[in-house]
Amino acid sequence: MEIIAVANQKGGVGKTTTAVNLAAALAVIGKKKVLLIDLDPQGNATTGAGLDKNELKKSIVDVLLDETKLHKVIEKNTQAGFDVAGANRDLAGIDMSLSDVEDAPFLLKKAIELAKKSGKFTYDYVIMDCAPSLSILTVNALVAAKNVIIPMQCEYYALEGVADLIDTIRRLKAINEELHVRGVVRTMFDGRSTLAQDVSAELENYFGELLYNTTIPRSVRLAEAPSFGQSIFGYEKSSKGAIAYHALMNEVIKQSDEPKLFEAKVRAQFDW
């Protein structure tokens, strides 16, 4: 089982779109068993998978507050083709609720470990959609995860802020040795824009082998799909957005199939 956090504390860079469509590609095309955990009080990944976030009987907040077990909040086989542990605005107060809890960063990791012991938690991939912050929720994701995919938009301030995320990842390596950046994916890419091309080249320089070859194009279809509670594969499977997320899935699976090669790349690039 591989646990991947999709994170970037910058807002609106395509985290949720990437988490939902990567999860869908892995499930629908890759035939993998996939769980998507929504760790954002906005609940966008929950909605994007076709669930009504305001109608959730139990959600991830109940797991973090130790009121229920992870497998009890999982909605099986959603319209988007994978299982979902949903979230909604009930999650917004979690920072306050956990302020006195000593093992607050470890709650999700513990919940996943407990679920694994039950024997019914048999996913190939667990994808976590993070909120645009480095709050206790994102810290929980980064403590539970094996690695991180960072979506980035090719715009002027793209690299600003990523330094903080990378710094957080470095610090959390002290408690989660395995944690590293799996890859950086360029999102909402507009190939006609010179600025986008320049920033893309800058990202290639900075991240080298850690930059996925696949670039996600700007596509209206990708933005429309969540309003139908569908992934791009359910909404328009021949669109350029679907083709791009399929290609990204191939790269992600290749990393899983060739862990040695992938780890060598990580080491060659940074000491992450």
**Contact residues: ligand ATP, CB under 6 A:** 11-17, 40, 42, 44, 132, 187-188, 216, 218-219, 222-223, 241
Which residues, 6+ apart, have CB-to-CB distance to 194 below 8 Å?
Answer: none
In sequence order, which residues have a C-beta less than 8 Å from that of residue 71 and are 6 or more positions away?
A: 115, 118, 120, 121
Q: Which residue is nearest to Mg ion (CB)?
A: 16
Q: List the x/- string, 10-29, binding to Mg ion by CB under 5 A.
A: -----xx-------------
User: Which residue, 15 or 109, has its beta carbon nearer to Mg ion?
Assistant: 15
Provide the minimum distance between the beta carbon of 66 and Mg ion in the complex, in angstroms, as a whole number.
25
- Residue 105's binding partner among ligand ATP, Mg ion, none (Cβ under 5 to 8 angstroms by kind) is none
**Of the two residues 63 and 185, which places its CB atom closer to ligand ATP in the complex?**
185
In the complex, the smallest distance separating the C-beta of residue 12 from Mg ion, rounded to whole angstroms, is 8
Binds Mg ion by CB under 5 A, chosen from 44, 153, 214, 255: 44
Smallest gap from Cβ 14 to ligand ATP, in A, equals: 4
Cβ proximity to Mg ion: between 16 and 239 the closer is 16
Closest to ligand ATP by CB, 10 or 109: 10
Least distance in angstroms from the C-beta of 155 to Mg ion: 17
- Least Å distance between CB 239 and ligand ATP? 10
Q: How far is CA 144 from each of CA 80, 128, 141, rounded to the nearest angstrom?
A: 24, 10, 5
In the complex, least distance from residue 221 CB atom to ligand ATP, rounded to whole angstroms: 8
From the list 43-51, 80-88, 159-167, 211-219, the region that binds Mg ion by CB under 5 A is 43-51
Residues of this chain that interact with Mg ion (CB under 5 A) are 15-16, 44
